[in-house]
Amino acid sequence: MMDLRGIQFILCLSVLSSCVVAQISIQPLTDLTVNEGNTVLLDCALRNIPGNPDDILLILYHDGKAIVVNKQLAVNNPNYLLDTSVVGHWKLTIQEAQIEDQGTWSCQVQLPNEVSQQMRLVVLAAPVITSVTPDMAPMPGSMVTLWCNATGSPEPSVTWTRQRPAGNLPSGVEFVTGNPLVISDITNDWRGLYQCFVTNGIGQGAVTAPVFLQMEYSPIVRALNELVAAPIGDSAQLQCIGESFPAVKIVDNVQWFKDDRLVGASDGYQMSVSLDMDMDPYRETSIATLIVTSVSNQNVGKYTCRLENLLGSAQADVRLEVGKQIDPETGASRSKASNVLAAMATIMASISMATVLMKF
């Protein structure tokens, strides 16, 4: 006969065997990669459920935050739907998955023993630029930081380029990768129109609206034409182009000199200044104009235009001579007589064409 100790040993083995068989487990979860906007189904499926399933406490976590506690949603998210109609299954449907839904999801049973399974959800999304540094005008020598913030999955890379003026940056490179773009000890060479481009291999990428990095600087002046010729009695137009910021916008900030003597309206001149929006849409370029109303031997010679802003001034020379007019398109000289002949030829050609057309 089996003694008492043998009977006790057999009973213990029987109990242990039943405990192993009855141990709760969770069906393994599979990692998922989906596109933004797709539907995702997470199924926490239990096996070997002993007794009453209602006695089991199951929690579904997302990156450590409880989303489902037993049969209740623990968060208020209209895209989350929970289905526990099938015994032993906790099914969470994520409608229109977003980047915020990606991460580690884990099913965990707390009672009667703690077991868990987890998976990694990746949501692919094209980059979207959320914010970018606005236009700015830093002081020379300061440090400038240009931000281009974007969302996307995988995380987008950011590339900065300068659209205007075209060419390499003052550092010698065509573009800079990274966010932010930091410029230490900024100088006037860095001014211009910047754009950031973000991409992550999903979609077409995204480009920001231009960021205008302006630097205050004193005028840089050049003559539109260094030599202007006109016949005696004709008017002549002398022009200088100035680049500066702030731009020169008013006549009071422009001076014209004839042989180093200041001239003005009282001397028979007309003066004006305008911003050239075609040449420079960012309003740095000014055109200063001096009209000599009647060219004579007394008012020909060297003229000097001087443009000034708060940071300084600069000047350029224009020479006015008596002579034939210069065609600005061809560079050829034209006299008054040639102008009249050209006009008459144009009129005669128009009359001839009209005569031909009247025959039809």
User: How far is residue 134's CA from residue 213's CA, in Å, rounded to a whole number?
Assistant: 9
**pLDDT at 154 (0 to 100):** 95
Domains 133-213 and 217-337 share a fold: yes
Amino acid at 32: L
Find the largest Cα–Cα distance for the chain. 146
**pLDDT at 12 (0 to 100):** 39
Amino acid at 174: E
Give me the CATH topology for the region 24-125: Immunoglobulin-like (2.60.40)
**pLDDT at 331 (0 to 100):** 55
**pLDDT at 292 (0 to 100):** 95
**pLDDT at 338 (0 to 100):** 46
The residues of the chain scoring below 70 in pLDDT are 1-22, 111-113, 277-283, 325-360
**Domain at 217-337, CATH homologous superfamily:** Immunoglobulins (2.60.40.10)
- Helix residue ranges, H only, the chain: 4-21, 336-358
How remote is the C-alpha of 101 from its chain's centroid?
27
**pLDDT at 333 (0 to 100):** 55
User: How far is residue 244's CA from residue 217's CA, in Å, rounded to a whole number?
Assistant: 6
Phi, psi for residue 40 in degrees, rounded to 5: -120, 135
**pLDDT at 321 (0 to 100):** 95
Amino acid at 146: L
- Over residues 17-56, the pLDDT tens digits come to 344 445 788 999 999 999 999 999 999 999 888 777 777 8
Q: With contact defined as beta carbons under 8 Å apart, do 186 and 138 qualify? A: yes
Per-residue tokens: 306: 């001087």
With a CB cutoff of 8 Å and minimum separation 6, the contacts of 68 are 44, 58, 59, 60, 74, 82, 90, 92
User: How far is residue 360's CA from residue 358's CA, in Å, rounded to a whole number?
Assistant: 5
**pLDDT at 2 (0 to 100):** 40
Q: Is domain 133-213 annotated with CATH 2.60.40.10?
A: yes
Domains in the chain: boundaries? 24-125, 133-213, 217-337
**pLDDT at 139 (0 to 100):** 84
